[in-house]
Amino acid sequence: MKKMKGNEFEGKVIGITRPAERVDEAVKIVKQHGGIALVAPTLELQVSNTQSLLDLCEMAGELDWLILTSPTGIISIFKHCQDLKDRLNPNCQIAVIGPRTEKFLEDYGIKADMVAKDYTAEGLLEMFKGLKLNNKKIGLPRTIAARDMLPDGLKKMGANVIVAEAYRSGLPKNKDKVQALITSIINKEVDAVTFTSTLTVQNLFKMVKYDKKEELFKVLRNGDVIVAAIGPVTAKPLKEHCIPVLIPEQYTVKAMLEILNDKI
């Protein structure tokens, strides 16, 4: 994979489907390399003051582990449990997915004990293998829409997993930008489109009007618009529709954009 050095995206239009709160990094990289970022969030995030999150805050002193899987989860739990740092069991260890989530946590004055090198639920589970988790209490604030891979895997290792809804993720209320992206893909006015979670893919497909769906799939299947996914989990719903997809070796936004170098 070539490192990006100059104007690799000169004049190219790159579709970005990340939630609005998370587009800055991708937009910056695309613009730095001469491209045009077409931002069309297919996923909308909303932090939630749910009873399950409040219950998790109340039992923070009993936790053996706290697992944080996204910056949004961190923002939500510290917004609704402002004294979390003081409430946590002094022996509670914290695991996070990836350096970006680790950095968000450090901004709240807390250092992660474990950072998954493979930025997926599978990567975190791999790191927990070999640890004694029998009857350990593990707090997991996240969106309920997330896969059950992580909590189910931890339960199989003997842990008592407390899942709390920290934020909701759903279709954007205003779908105009997404409809514009869909039209641009069908008309081949976009050179590439990027996805960073299964929901960003699935929601795009949900918002395609019925009479336009086959046109969209045809363009994507033919490779007329290049598709890149941040990792194999995100790529799965694309492959299920026989859409060729580029996947970086490292599951980061930067690496995902770098793999477009040879194709765009």
pLDDT tier, 36 (very low <50, low <70, confident <90, very high otherwise):
very high
pLDDT at 1: 59
The span from the CA of 226 to the CA of 217, in Å, is 12
**8 A C-beta contact, residue 112 and residue 96:** yes
pLDDT band at 139 (very low <50, low <70, confident <90, very high): very high
pLDDT band, residue 252 (cuts 50/70/90): confident
Class of domain 46-170: alpha beta
Chosen CATH of 13-43+173-258 out of 3.40.50.10090, 3.20.20.70, 3.40.50.720, 3.90.1150.10: 3.40.50.10090
What average pLDDT does this structure show over 44-51? 88
pTM of the model: 0.81
Going by C-alpha positions, the residue among 34, 71, 101 that lies closest to residue 257 is 34
- List, in order, residues 6 or more apart from 195 with CB less than 8 Å away: 17, 201, 204, 227, 228, 229, 230, 234, 235, 238
Taking 70 as the threshold, does the pLDDT of residue 22 lie above it? yes
CATH 3.40.50.10090 positions along the chain are 13-43+173-258, 46-170
* The pLDDT of residue 118 is above 80: no
Q: Is residue 80 scored above 80 in pLDDT?
A: yes
Higher pLDDT, 11 or 264: 11
Give the start-end residues of each E strand in 17-109: 36-39, 44-47, 65-68, 93-97
Q: What percent of the chain has pLDDT over 90?
A: 75
Q: What is the pLDDT of residue 92?
A: 96
- Tokens for 70? 């996204």
The pLDDT tens digits of the residues spanning 198-207 come to 999 999 999 9
Give CA separation, 38 vs 31, 45, 48, in Å: 11, 19, 28
pLDDT at 6: 73
**What is the per-residue pLDDT across 168-182, written as a single tens digit (0 to 9) for each?**
888 999 999 999 999
* pLDDT digits 0-9 by tens, 209-229: 999 999 999 999 999 999 999
Answer yes or no: is pLDDT of 186 > 70.
yes
Residue 184 has pLDDT above 70, yes or no: yes
Average pLDDT, the chain: 92
Q: Nearest Cα to 246, choosing from 208, 191, 195?
A: 195
Work out the average pLDDT over 134-157. Answer: 92
Residues 6+ apart with CB under 8 A from 189: 13
